A and B are shown apart, each in its own frame.
Chain A
Amino acid sequence: MADETLDASGLNCPLPILKTKKALSKMSAGQILEVISTDAGSVKDIEAFCNQTGNKLISNVEDGGKFVFTIEKV
């Protein structure tokens, strides 16, 4: 179960990344953020974001045109 949920539906690059960053900065290490996006580019981008920032991408599920990412803050 996520500690926080960010609905970035309808937003395009780079907004889902910027909002993810903002949401994570308010959370503490070990907490789970769920990000919902409709931007197909965010599949690669959230992965790249996690690669670079060290946050852990736990799962990445597509659900009827929506992409749901589960990220653990480091």
Chain B
Amino acid sequence: MSDKDDNKMTIIATKGTFDWAFPPFIIASTGVAMDKEVTIFFTFYGLNLLLKDTSKLRVSPLGNPGMPMKMPFGPKWLQKINFGPKIPNILWSIPGTEALVTWLMKKTMAKHGVAKLEDLRDMCQEFDVKFIACEMTVELFGFNKEDFIDGVEFAGAASYFDEAATGDHHLYM
């Protein structure tokens, strides 16, 4: 086993909501910046993270009690209130709430200097993170390969194992 292989890392990205899109790209881009060789295997809902158009990604407040909900603007006293535990879950089934909460999360992220999703993904590619899309779930969910960004490989679980055969750093997200 060469040193380079020991330095390898893989991530299985399975979630397709706006919030959970961040961890795989943050860890992967930081990994390559720290001289690791990183592969992300996108499967099931994680495939959404490879779409050219990520504007449809949403964060869902429904059944998501761990999500703090604070206003990213307005007077200081208002920004301090965590509305999450105060709002009954049933209200989140009203149409439009997902879009509203996603918009507020984007505002909050921008205010805190968090990178935009597309920028993080671009940096991953610039630093040569390998993106593999699970061929089976692409077909299962009827995704069009043309809708994915360039530079994505299409392969199956066996290819993931080939990537993960070396290295000692493998994460499931």
Residues on A lying within 8 angstroms of B by beta carbon are 10-15, 17-18, 20-21, 39, 48-49, 52-53
Contact A14 B113 (CB under 8 A): no
The 7 closest A-B pairs by CB, nearest first: A21-B33, A12-B113, A14-B30, A52-B34, A11-B113, A10-B113, A12-B114
- The secondary-structure label for the interface of chain A is helix
Quote the shortest CB–CB distance from A50 to chain B (angstroms): 10
Query: B112, A14: Cβ atoms under 8 Å?
Result: no
Residues 12-41 (chain B) with a chain A CB within 8 angstroms: 26, 29-30, 33-35
Alpha-carbon distance A38/B115, docked complex (angstroms): 15
B148 → chain A, closest Cβ, in Å?
Answer: 23
Residue among A11, A15, A18, A20 facing the most chain B CB atoms (10 A cut-off): A18
Asked whether, in the complex, the Cβ of B113 is within 8 Å of the Cβ of A39, the reply is yes
CB < 8 Å neighbour of A15 from B34, B35, B115: B115
Q: Which residue of A lies closest to B36 (CB)?
A: A52
Is there contact, CB below 8 Å, between B123 and A18? Answer: yes
**A18 in contact with B113 given A52-B34, A52-B35, A53-B35 (CB within 8 Å):** no
Complex CA–CA separation, A14 to B113 (angstroms): 10
